[in-house]
Amino acid sequence: MLFRGKPLYTTVDIDIISNASAAFEEKIKMAYFLGRDVKVAITTEDASNGIQQADATPILTAATDASASSGNKIENRTNTVFDGGSQYNPFTDVTSVDITLGSVDEDIAYMGQRTALKAEIKKETTIVITKKKVNSFFDTLFSDGRYGINGTTLMGPANMTQPTVEFGFRLYVQLQSTNEFIVVPNCVFAEKGTSLSPDGVQEETLTFTSHVDPLFDNSTPAGASEGDLLGVTPTANL
């Protein structure tokens, strides 16, 4: 294009504009992580048994592989994640999910140096799920089965033993619709809260903590070998 006999843009100008346009287009392609894509699921660490609540009573019982895949139940670790088979795979009625990836450190101060070393002792991952309250399942679970299930025995305050590879629960969090999954093995049901309001729906807050290294992947959790997203936690990692 000419302006009073001179080019409006030089070749250098065109190259700069082209590069800027390409960078802008690349930035547009970058997608934010959206809350509507988030899913969270929970399973036991047991390969065969989940946890269910009988309809007639508030008592929790073991749910076998055949029966622990629908309704008001926590499925076992080998079931397909996010298949919608139960109310907690994935969770329904969720309003927020908070994930904190932390660690327990020892501060080591050195003579003649201001900066201390943060020596990592173990991981400390916390997941807080806030959801609308629809039943008493998690009230009963916190009371009787905070540590998951071992075979057909609920692991609560009355059955405390040294943790094994089947200790606790496994939490799965999907951050994007097609990738970015965080899996937290061997979680303890640490806290349970209920919010009451005179003009609103009751909400419950579920807090799970784990000192086992969290797992990360860019595809839907699958597999059954040690150390993968669905596999049993290696004993050395407990």
pLDDT at position 109 is 93
The whole-angstrom separation of Cα 172 and Cα 127 is 10
Classify residue 18 by burial, with Cβ atoms within 10 Å: 0-12, 13-18, 19+: exposed
Q: What DSSP state is assigned to residue 234?
A: P
Q: What is the architecture, at CATH level 2, of domain 35-237?
A: Roll (2.30)
Q: How far apart are CA 227 and CA 26, in angstroms?
A: 36
SS3 238: coil
pLDDT of amino acid 233: 76
State residue 225's pLDDT score: 43
Closest CA to 68 of 132, 143, 148: 148
Read off the pLDDT of residues 209-219 as tens digits, 9 standing for 90 and up.
999 988 887 66
pTM summary value: 0.79
Please give the Cα distance from 180 to 163 (Å, whole number). Answer: 29
* 3-class secondary structure, 207: strand
- How far is residue 172's CA from residue 42's CA, in Å, rounded to a whole number? 6
209/220 Cα distance (integer angstroms) = 22
What are the structural domain ranges in the chain?
Answer: 1-30, 35-237
**pLDDT tens across the length of the chain (238 residues):** 444 555 555 555 555 555 555 555 554 445 677 778 889 999 999 888 899 887 666 688 887 754 545 568 898 888 888 888 788 989 989 999 999 999 999 999 999 999 999 999 999 999 999 999 988 899 999 998 999 998 888 888 888 888 888 899 999 998 877 678 899 999 999 999 999 888 877 999 999 999 998 888 766 555 444 445 666 777 777 6
The C-alpha atoms of residue 139 and residue 204 are separated, in whole angstroms, by 9
Contact 60, 139 (CB under 8 A): no
